[in-house]
Amino acid sequence: MPELPEVETTRAGIEPHVRGQQVRTVIVRQPQLRWPVSAALAEVLPGQIIHAVHRRAKYLLFEAETGHVCLHLGMSGRLRLVPADTPVATHDHVDIVFENDMAMRFNDARRFGSLFWLDGDPQAFSLLAHLGPEPLSEAFDGDWLHTRSRGRRAPVKTFIMDSATVVGVGNIYACEALHAAGIHPRRAAGRISRSRYRTLAAAIKQVLRDAIIAGGTTLRDYIGVDGDTGYFQLRLAAYGRTGAPCPRGCGPIRREIIGQRSTFFCPVCQR
């Protein structure tokens, strides 16, 4: 599933091409994705200009004149800019066609993505209203993690992957940040000190920034807007490296299941 760096890479790649463009029509070939595609999308979006593309967690928000298109890539979704007359491929479910004869095409093989039309405050939308802070914002820091974690017995990895704690820290980046901070993923969230949470918050920010610069992590389905794959996977210190030596020279990386997710860590330097 595309994580925050992949979604941010998509946002940055697509915005220059759609900002300022007027929508001519919306073509919905498959109305049933994870949820039904909003019928209002094809009714009210044509004629409107896209002013900006924002990201909230792993949702893309296309700001139009009277509302927002809210898009989630799901597990395998892709956005591409193509000439409007480009032949349709399998799983090309939705086109937003612009007056410049280009189309923003949404392809989703597994149909776990979603497309909504929001005519009110997008932050009040049910899927966005209860999300935690953005990890790269000033609202997210070690003090926030420490305060929110008090009394929590859940593993710290599960805690930081909870979107009510902080958005966008998926499995790959949780493993990498915990390794960078030297914190064992099974340690109870409520038993970590404020100073160690400050180290962890800084590690989360750094790992995500590095991944965004690298264009994301390509493991299975993710491909960027330009058709290229991200290459942060070449810099992974823990994730997917079972049995490989820890980059700190401690010993082999171990794999365990935590919260039903594969978790990779060094049992020596992460405590």
Q: Which stretches within the chain are classed as H helix?
A: 4-18, 40-44, 142-149, 156-160, 171-181, 194-213
d(CA 100, CA 78): 21
Sheet with 52-56, edge to edge strand ranges: 52-56, 59-63, 68-72, 114-118
152 marked ligand binding residue: yes
Q: Are 34 and 112 in contact (CB under 8 A)?
A: yes
Residue 83, both tokens: 């000439």
Instruction: Indicate the SS3 state at residue 5.
Output: helix
194-213 and 142-149 helices cross at what angle (nearest 10)? 130
Instruction: Tell whether 110 is in a known binding site.
Output: yes
78 belongs to an annotated ligand binding site: no
Residues labelled as active-site residues: 2-3, 58, 261
Q: State the binding site for DNA.
A: 91, 110, 152
